[in-house]
Chains A and B, each alone.
Chain A
Amino acid sequence: MLCQSCGKNDAVIFLKAAVNNKVTGIHLCGHCAEEKGVTFSGLDAEPLNLSGMPGHFGGYFKEFLPREKRTLRCRTCGQAYHEFKESGLLGCPGCYAEFAPQLTELLTRIHGSCAHTGKQYAVTGKTPAARPRESAAGLREALKKAVAREDFEAAARLRDRIKELGGANG
């Protein structure tokens, strides 16, 4: 039997997968199987690339989401609504309030409901912001000391952290 992906080589493996609740099967040659992430050393438990197979997940949100008329952007994290449509991931918890009307419709389609009726929660913990913030000045001081004692591994870490903080916290 020929490979159902390339149609050129002999199929050597029958790949069976459960995708969106359907068992899908495809005969593949060694080359195409490898491209889809299947290795022959005991199906090494890598996630498979199912994008070439029927019923894959890509474009799921794009199809379901209503079209917005203007660019919506979360005021907390700056992520645009169209970016969420591409990736399927929201930027921060604030996006839920910002995009509430759009998400209400989407959640109803996904879950059959848009209202949480499960466990309730009241914030009692410390906020992450309550943790002492790193200051670039403090890190620069630590960097100087690390260089002086020739601890270059620590110095490299500190340099990276200073770079990440940029000028915002200096």
Chain B
Amino acid sequence: MGKVIGAFRAHVTWANPKGKWPDIIFSTRVRLARNLAGAAFPHSAPAAALRGIRETALETAKATRLFARGHYLKTDALSPLEKKFLVERHHISHNLASSERAGAVAVSNDEDLAVMVNEEDHLRLQSIASGFSIDAALGAVNRLDAELGRLLPYAFNAKFGFLTACPTNVGTGMRVSCLVHLPALSRAGRMPGLLESLSRLGVTARGIYGEGTCVLGDFYQISNATCLGRSEEEFCADLDRTIANLIRLEISAREELVIPGVRLKTEDGVFRAYGLLKNARSVSYGEFMQNLSLVRMGAAMGYSIRTDFGTLNQFALLMQPAHLEAMAGRPLGPDERDAERAAYIRKNLN
């Protein structure tokens, strides 16, 4: 539907299960908040200034050559469906999609790098990688940062670091996060306690689309809560340790699901979910994710499910509402969308 969506790949490269622990870590993302020296932050800048910043940012992104054959999109030229599609792909935020400002996004051909323009800050640089790949994601965003920072004057202060509209982002301006799948810990009812412990360790947990979004399919976005006072590498090393601990806990929770007396219930749950996805005629995204979570866990635990993480990960992205409408090539009402989703899964799930 439309040129914009048609130009994006049908298969999302960063959702391939390539990194470490692909059954537990879906993807890793590093984002840097940057602003231009001498310019008011987007919420208080005049419209003409924001348009100038947008042009400069897009021209500079082009000049870095990191976005060769990529996408350069101005949000005010996008339809609501196109904006929703980009939110679902994690290239723009809800805030930018709903903003009236002169916003934009540059996305690399592989969709692993993006620069959002005029969201809360002038620039939000993002790198996304498959699996548990903090070093790779940090390396990629650092290269982009070095290129952009060479061509554009960042707002930087020796004491406070990179200056941002909201003081919660000042300093490194960095948020490193992993999208983790914790179905066994969720089933064991251990998430509330774990999230409280994480909070004491300076780690934040959010829903699948970031701040203020609900937890879908037992996927949590785990990130650093603070970004000033330590180096980028130290924050990354801290998150790396936290995620490694979560992996250990999830593995041991999965082991508890196969002890005698529990095993049958677990197996039954996994295959009921598999059966539902294979046979349903109408399924909402929430229900789909809930069942996908069990099937994904079952596949990781070695149950004879003839599907792979690659397919399941693609499903998680492609079965979102805007992606479904784009695939159908026409606007869909909620009931039609649920029916299309069920039909697609029946056809493509082995």
Mark A residues whose CB is within 8 Å of B.
15-23, 38-48, 50, 77, 79, 87-93, 96-97, 100, 103, 106-107, 110-119, 121, 123-129, 131, 134, 161, 164-165
- Residues in B neighbouring A42, C-beta threshold 8 A: 284-286, 288, 320-321, 334, 337-338, 341
Contact B40 A91 (CB under 8 A): yes
Chief secondary structure at chain B's binding surface: mixed
The answer on a CB contact under 8 Å between A128 and B41 is no
Q: Do B215 and A112 have beta carbons less than 8 Å apart?
A: no
B38 touches A128 (CB 8 A): yes
Which A residue's beta carbon lies closest to that of B336? A41
* Separation of A120 and B204 alpha carbons in the complex (Å): 26
Looking at the assembled complex, report how far the CB atom of A88 sits from the nearest CB atom of chain B, in whole angstroms. 6
State which of A44, A100, A114 has its C-beta within 8 Å of the C-beta of B228. A114
Complex CA gap A113/B226 in Å reads: 9
B196, B212, B230, B288 — most chain A CB neighbours (10 Å): B212
Q: Which of B120, B158, B199 contacts A20 (CB 8 A)?
A: B199
Q: Which residues of A contact B334 (CB under 8 A)?
A: 39-42
Q: Which residues of B contact A114 (CB under 8 A)?
A: 159-160, 228-229
- Which among B39, B95, B284 is the interface contact of A128 at CB below 8 angstroms? B39
Task: Identify the stretch in B48-56, B103-111, B266-274 within 8 Å (CB) of chain A at 4 or more residues.
Answer: B48-56
Residues of B within 8 A of A123 (CB): 37, 153-154, 156
- CB-CB < 8 A to B214: which residues of A? 15-18, 38, 43, 48
Cβ contacts under 8 Å, A124 to chain B: 149-150, 153
Q: How large is the interface on B (under 10, 10 to 19, 20 to 34, 35 or more residues)?
A: 35 or more
15 A-B pairs whose Cβ atoms sit less than 8 Å apart in the complex: A16-B215, A18-B206, A21-B204, A21-B205, A22-B199, A42-B284, A92-B40, A96-B163, A100-B159, A107-B228, A117-B230, A125-B152, A125-B153, A127-B36, A128-B56
- Chain A residues near B152 (CB-CB < 8 A): 125-126
Secondary structure of the A side of the interface?
loop
Does B46 interact with chain A (Cβ within 8 Å)?
A: yes
Q: Is B47 an interface residue (CB 8 A)?
A: yes
Taking A48-B213, A93-B37, A111-B171 as contacts, is the C-beta distance between A121 and B156 under 8 angstroms? yes
Digitize B283-325: 1 where CB-to-A-CB distance is under 8 Å, 0 elsewhere: 0111010000000000000000000000000000000110000
Report if A89-B213 is in contact (Cβ < 8 Å); known contacts: A42-B284, A42-B286, A97-B157.
no
For A46, the chain B residues whose CB sits under 8 A away are 94
Minimum-distance CB pairs A-B, first 8: A113-B229, A42-B285, A116-B161, A41-B334, A21-B199, A93-B155, A111-B228, A118-B172
Q: Contacting A93 at CB < 8 Å: which of B163, B209, B333?
A: B163
Instruction: Determine which of B88, B94, B149, B232 lies in contact with A125 in the assembled complex, contact meaning CB atoms within 8 Å.
Output: B149
Q: Is the CB of A125 within 8 A of B151?
A: yes
**How many Å lie between the Cα of A131 and that of B199 in the bound state?**
45
A88 touches B40 (CB 8 A): no
Decide: B213 and A23 in contact? CB cutoff 8 A.
Answer: no
Instruction: Tell whether B350 is near chain A: CB-to-CB under 8 Å.
Output: no
A22 to chain B, nearest CB (A): 6
Residue in B156, B198, B229 whose Cβ sees the most chain A Cβ within 10 Å: B229
